[in-house]
């Protein structure tokens, strides 16, 4: 391969003696030139920080006072009750939120895909909009909705005779509030992915099934679900990874409180890095989180049969 | 779903990477006036900007650019700048006492030692209790005191009267609790308000002031953990007593505190000097209802003063114009007439003792029924507050103490046991010793 290419390049140059000078652009290196910008970006903004963070996780202090401490930060991590609290909170939110959100997204996608729906573009836009909302707008909006005394949600509940809920002040409800906000933010995103999946299912399958006399439920379970399987898997993995790194919602809504009931791993990482200036420890948390994310990803691929 | 959140990890990693590369900065060459940048936040920055103009006129070779970075944004910007070896920092940095020791300890060289610029001669110029806090473990002076906030006890005189309470008779916080019960019964108002679940933000100033009145804090001067010391337990027990007596309102939630205040449901605001100008702005219609006095003592005969917090001006260790920057700081902070102008324009209570002889510190304030409000605070400072040692792990201590307070207030946890666990956790997290 290499030889052929070189010869080609040489012949291409024609008889001129100057063609022996190495040229910047040859057929062989064009692909590399094309990916060069992305490669440079990757090396400087991803690979380097990732490696630097690994080193930093083995140190303590900052700047001139940085000293190498080996695995001290990781030992500290294992013995840190707050880290385990944050892990537990994250797991709890994950287990409750991801299934609810994905189910809801699927229902929305089925609705949006229905030929009976009018103004489809508008509905789709509406469903997708929340995932475009900026962090600050989102935080302000939810603190207004969830306010204990003057919040929209408590007002609504009041109409049904339900007592005001202290959404952000009680450990239990604060977790629910995070789940609600998270679901609001990302359901549309997943619904759009499902919608794309639904639209790629060949119509012939449904027609054939109808000819065979299959009802709507039967068509859903025997055609839609199996056909969507790779997409379902994708969203489960993406959502799991996303929720494991949960930060925005507790950051803007609860600050991790009350009494650390919504402290997530990423929030704890942030606090250690930017509140406590404990960069080494923060980097160690980041690596622990990476391991957990990787572990979960692999496990899910295995369990759900990542094979083609 | 991952996109936005992934950014966080990357940002952090990126910052860490920046920290790794660090490096020096080019010296500024050429003639013309030298520009000094000051990082601060509103409204304090307004006061500084006002006197910066006068300074520029007297020193035509120096331009002062007061930049409003904003609080709390400024902390992250300083942290990132210091982690990057001082790149991009302002020459002069406005730093709160709660952050100062962190910057000094965690970024050696990040702030200039002002002794070499002659700061030592101002050692006794500022309110007692401040100088030890701007002095590092190595004896270096890392900031000049600008603003001091002595604790106050703002109370609704109308409600006190209605309940038949003589504020002058309240000598200790235990007296205040008895008064609080009467207030609740007669007027329906709570004694104080606290953000009990610490939802949104932590609310530890009151607890801290109870510690500070006893000359205690989360750490002692040696940096050992004192979160489970007798004064710490005493202070938390007082808060629990108030809470159990039903005289602590929950101020969690957007705007709850303001609502309680405007509807007369809070009889006391245990706020510091900054509130003297804030309350009239916030509740102009309650003119004449508020008064201020020194807070009661924790123990009979104990101190009734405390410095809740203070803010300072420091010079970046990598600034190329440290001498000129110090010249401006000296001008702004050590001359009574200048710092009082800063006070008038920016509303921050001056740390400079000589400033208090100005008539405005003893003149009656109309809003407070003709009471000389500022005099209360000057008296408080003259009584001599103890220094508070925030240490470089204050942020962590604050969080852990706040969790403890939340447990006491919302779950009725036992103060001594809760603080013992909290202190242990703090020691484990910071690698510090528990004070004996």
Please report, in tens digits, the pLDDT of each residue of chain B (436 residues total). 334 444 444 444 444 444 444 333 334 445 678 999 999 999 899 999 999 999 999 999 999 999 999 988 999 899 889 988 888 999 999 999 999 998 998 888 899 999 999 999 999 999 999 999 999 888 999 999 999 999 999 999 999 999 999 999 999 999 999 999 999 999 999 999 999 988 878 899 999 999 999 999 999 988 999 999 999 999 999 999 999 999 999 998 778 888 999 999 999 999 999 898 889 999 999 999 999 999 999 999 999 999 999 999 999 999 999 999 999 999 999 999 999 999 999 888 999 999 999 999 999 999 999 999 999 999 999 888 888 999 988 989 999 999 999 999 999 999 999 999 999 999 988 889 998 7
Mean pLDDT for chain A overall: 85
* Partner residue opposite A279 with nearest CB, options B4, B19, B85: B19
What ipTM was assigned to the predicted interfaces of this complex?
0.72
Classified as helix, coil or strand, A224 is: helix
pTM for the full predicted model: 0.80
Domains within chain B, CATH numbers bracketed: 32-150+309-383 (3.40.190.10), 153-306+388-430 (3.40.190.10)
User: Apex CA A59: angle with CA A57 and CA A64, to 5°?
Assistant: 130
Cα separation, B219 vs B387, in Å, equals 11
The tokens describing B213, both together, are 């009145």
How close A170 comes to chain B (CA, Å)? Answer: 7
Residue B185's CB is within 10 A of a number of other CB atoms, namely: 10
* Partner residue opposite B4 with nearest CB, options A81, A248, A276: A248
C-beta separation of A93 from A182 below 8 A: yes
The tokens describing B130, both together, are 């401040």
C-beta separation of B167 from B155 below 8 A: yes
Question: Above pLDDT 90, what percent of chain A?
Answer: 39
* A242/B5 touch (CB, cutoff 8 Å), yes or no: yes
* B197/A143 touch (CB, cutoff 8 Å), yes or no: no
- pLDDT for B11 equals 45
Q: Does A69 touch chain B if contact means CB atoms closer than 8 Å? A: no
Residues 6+ apart with CB under 8 A from A90: A243, A244, A246, A264, A265
Query: Which residues between 171 and 200 in chain A have a beta carbon less than 8 angstroms from any beta carbon of chain B?
Result: 174, 186, 189-190
Which of B188, B370, B186 has its CA nearest to residue B292? Answer: B370
Enter the DSSP assignment of A168.
Answer: T
Q: Looking up tokens 């006129």, which residue turns up?
A: B57
Chain A residue whose CA is closest to B201? A255
Which of B171, B132, B127 has its CA nearest to residue B149? Answer: B127
Please name the residue ranges forming H helices in chain A.
2-12, 30-42, 48-56, 72-78, 81-113, 120-128, 135-146, 152-159, 171-199, 203-211, 216-219, 225-244, 248-253, 265-270, 279-303
Enter the DSSP assignment of B325.
Answer: H
- pLDDT for A62 equals 66
CATH architecture, domain defined by A80-303:
Orthogonal Bundle (1.10)
How close B36 comes to chain A (CA, Å)? Answer: 24
- pLDDT for B403 equals 92
CA distances, A178 to each of A137, B2, B168 (Å):
16, 17, 47
Pairs from B77-82 (Cβ < 8 Å, separation ≥ 24): B77/B39, B78/B39, B78/B103, B79/A274, B79/A277, B79/B103, B80/B15, B80/B18, B81/B316, B82/A62, B82/A63, B82/B106, B82/B107, B82/B110
- pLDDT for A23 equals 72
Which of B8, B16, B100 has the most A C-beta neighbours within 10 Å, making it the best mutation to test the interface with A?
B16
Q: Tell me: the pLDDT tens digits for A142-152?
A: 888 888 877 88
Lowest mean pLDDT of A57-71, A105-119, B93-107, B229-243, name the range.
A57-71
Chain A CB contacts of B22 below 8 Å: 63
Classified as helix, coil or strand, B37 is: strand
Residue A129's CB is within 10 A of a number of other CB atoms, namely: 10
Which of B4, B13, B260 has the most A C-beta neighbours within 10 Å, making it the best mutation to test the interface with A?
B13
* A169/B199 touch (CB, cutoff 8 Å), yes or no: yes
* B106/A241 touch (CB, cutoff 8 Å), yes or no: no
Chain mean position to CA B350: 13
Q: Looking up tokens 């003893």, which residue turns up?
A: B362
- pLDDT for A18 equals 53
The tokens describing B105, both together, are 């300890």
The tokens describing A107, both together, are 């229902």
Residues 6+ apart with CB under 8 A from B285: none
Cα separation, B378 vs B368, in Å, equals 16
Classified as helix, coil or strand, B435 is: coil
Domain coordinates of chain A in residue numbers?
A: 80-303
């Amino acid at each position: 391969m290499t030889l052929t290419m070189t010869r080609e390049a040489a012949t291409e140059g024609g008889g001129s003696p100057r063609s022996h000078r190495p040229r910047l652009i040859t057929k062989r290196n064009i692909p590399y030139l094309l990916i060069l910008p992305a490669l440079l970006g990757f090396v400087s903004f991803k690979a380097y920080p990732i490696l630097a963070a690994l080193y930093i996780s083995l140190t303590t202090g900052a700047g001139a006072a940085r000293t190498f401490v080996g695995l001290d930060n990781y030992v500290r991590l294992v013995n840190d009750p707050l880290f385990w609290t944050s892990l537990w909170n994250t797991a709890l939110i994950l287990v409750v939120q991801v299934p609810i959100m994905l189910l809801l997204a699927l229902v929305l996608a089925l609705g949006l895909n229905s030929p009976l729906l009018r103004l489809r573009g508008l509905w789709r836009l509406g469903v997708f909009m929340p995932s475009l909302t900026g962090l600050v707008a989102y935080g302000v909006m939810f603190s207004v909705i969830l306010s204990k005394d003057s919040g929209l949600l408590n007002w609504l509940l009041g109409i049904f005779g339900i007592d005001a809920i202290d959404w952000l002040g009680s450990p239990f409800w604060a977790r629910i509030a995070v789940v609600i906000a998270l679901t609001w933010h990302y359901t549309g995103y997943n619904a759009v992915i499902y919608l794309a999946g639904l639209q790629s299912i060949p119509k012939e399958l449904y027609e054939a099934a109808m000819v065979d006399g299959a009802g709507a439920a039967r068509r859903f379970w025997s055609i839609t679900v199996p056909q969507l399987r790779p997409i379902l898997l994708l969203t489960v993995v993406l959502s799991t990874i996303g929720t494991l790194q949960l930060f925005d919602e507790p950051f803007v809504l609860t600050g991790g409180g009350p009494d650390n009931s919504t402290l997530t791993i990423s929030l704890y990482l942030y606090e250690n890095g930017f509140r406590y200036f404990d960069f080494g420890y923060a980097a160690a948390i980041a690596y622990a989180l990476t391991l957990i994310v990787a572990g979960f990803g692999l496990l899910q691929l295995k369990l759900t049969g990542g094979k083609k | 779903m991952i996109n936005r959140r992934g950014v966080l990890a990357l940002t952090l990693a990126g910052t860490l990477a920046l920290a790794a590369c660090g490096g020096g900065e080019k010296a500024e060459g050429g003639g013309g006036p030298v520009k000094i940048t000051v990082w601060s936040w509103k409204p304090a920055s307004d006061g500084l900007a006002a006197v910066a103009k006068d300074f520029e006129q007297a020193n035509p070779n120096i331009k002062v650019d007061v930049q409003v970075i904003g609080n709390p944004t400024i902390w992250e910007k300083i942290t990132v700048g210091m982690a990057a070896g001082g790149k991009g920092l302002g020459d002069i940095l406005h730093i709160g006492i709660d952050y100062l020791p962190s910057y000094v300890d965690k970024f050696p060289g990040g702030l200039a030692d002002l002794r070499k610029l002659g700061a030592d001669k101002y050692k006794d110029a500022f309110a007692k209790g401040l100088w030890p806090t701007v002095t590092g473990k190595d004896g270096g002076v890392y900031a000049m005191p600008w603003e001091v906030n002595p604790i106050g006890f703002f109370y609704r005189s109308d409600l006190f009267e209605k309940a038949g309470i003589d504020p002058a008779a309240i000598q200790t916080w235990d007296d205040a609790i008895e008064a609080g019960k009467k207030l609740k019964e007669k007027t329906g108002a709570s004694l104080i308000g606290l953000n009990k679940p610490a939802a949104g933000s932590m609310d530890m100033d009151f607890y801290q002031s109870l510690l500070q009145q006893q000359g205690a804090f989360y750490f002692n001067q040696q940096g050992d953990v004192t979160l489970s010391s007798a004064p710490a337990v005493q202070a938390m027990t007082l808060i629990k007593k108030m809470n159990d007596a039903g005289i602590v309102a929950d101020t969690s939630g957007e705007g709850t505190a303001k609502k309680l205040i405007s509807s007369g449901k809070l009889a006391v605001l245990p706020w510091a000097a900054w509130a003297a100008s804030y309350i009239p702005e916030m509740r102009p219609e309650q003119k004449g209802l508020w008064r201020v006095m020194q807070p009661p003592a924790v123990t009979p005969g104990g101190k009734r003063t405390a410095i809740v917090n203070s803010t300072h001006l420091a010079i970046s260790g990598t600034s190329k114009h440290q001498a000129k920057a110090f010249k401006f700081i000296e001008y702004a902070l050590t001359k009574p007439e200048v710092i009082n102008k800063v006070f008038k324009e920016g509303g921050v209570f001056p740390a400079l003792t000589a400033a208090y002889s100005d008539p405005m510190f003893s003149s009656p304030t109309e809003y407070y029924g003709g009471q000389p409000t500022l005099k209360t605070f000057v008296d408080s400072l003259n009584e001599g507050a103890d220094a508070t040692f925030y240490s470089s792990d204050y942020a962590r201590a604050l969080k852990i103490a706040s969790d403890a307070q939340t447990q006491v207030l919302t779950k009725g946890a036992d103060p001594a046991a809760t603080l013992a666990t909290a202190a242990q956790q703090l020691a484990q997290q910071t690698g510090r010793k528990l004070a004996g």
